[in-house]
Amino acid sequence: MLEPAVRPQAGVALRCSRLLLSPWSRLSLLVGLLAVAGAVVVAYEPHRLLADGGWPPQVGGAGAVVLFGLAYGVCTAAFVPRPVLNLASGALFGTQAGLAAAVAGTVVGAGVAFALGRALGRDALRPLLRGRWVEAADGQLSRHGFRSTLAIRLFPGVPFAAANYGAALSRMRYAPFLLGTALGCVPNTAAYVVAGSEAASPTSPAFLVSAAFIAVSVTAGAAVAWRKRHRLRATATP
């Protein structure tokens, strides 16, 4: 007797669940999460960590390094520039601990952004990515995930968060992406961390060497990005 009344309810629940789990609903959720994260970042101004007293004085030692690494990851997923956080890491913890916190935060942030982009944005956006150039780039990332990620991190020409969410739309696997990020981010991250730790002595050899390395890496990254762009165009040309 109750069966005819139950079936319409089940049908409505099924349609609602399909709507909530649809690709565009998930993409809307991702956009909402990023908007909220961006608002929180603007409100709390993480760059204040560079100022004296910006870090809570009651948090210290290894716990502070771990906490900073986690906060670093969340901030980078919300499009906070990594150079600012790297400088803060060096200023707060020195070279060794600062580098450990920054590298760990980089991997955490890359993993969070990659997972969010793949789970919430990929199904909606991937059908919109068309054209031979896009297909060539996707093929490069899919076949050579580790090598491509390593090159992107070693020669920074693409914003960190944009690269993470962009990679999530490709067929690249998690392991090559995270491993390439962990290894490739070390040189540039170390340069910024050293610069942050030696900011009080801008004429010291360590600061000057790190500043020179940053300048060279930015220039080299622009050159590599330019060449890679033309190579992908050549690959996409029939």
Residue 93 lies in a domain: yes
Q: Hey, how many other C-beta atoms are within 10 angstroms of the C-beta on 194? A: 25
Domain that holds residue 152: 25-236
Residue 171 lies in a domain: yes
Return d(Cα 115, Cα 118) in angstroms, integer: 5
Return d(Cα 57, Cα 206) in angstroms, integer: 27
Residue 102 lies in a domain: yes
pLDDT in tens, the chain (238 residues): 444 544 555 555 555 555 556 777 777 887 888 888 778 777 776 656 554 555 666 666 788 889 889 989 988 988 888 988 999 899 888 999 999 999 999 999 999 999 998 888 777 777 666 666 667 777 777 788 898 899 888 876 678 888 898 888 888 899 999 999 999 999 999 999 999 898 878 788 888 888 888 888 777 766 766 666 655 555 545 5
Q: Count how many domains the chain has.
A: 1
Kindly state the DSSP code that residue 20 receives in the 8-state scheme: H
Residue 16 lies in a domain: no
SS3 string, 100-169, reads HHHHHHHHHHHHHHHHHHHHHHHHHHHHHCCCHHHHHHHHHHHHCHHHHHHHHHHCCCCCHHHHHHHHHC
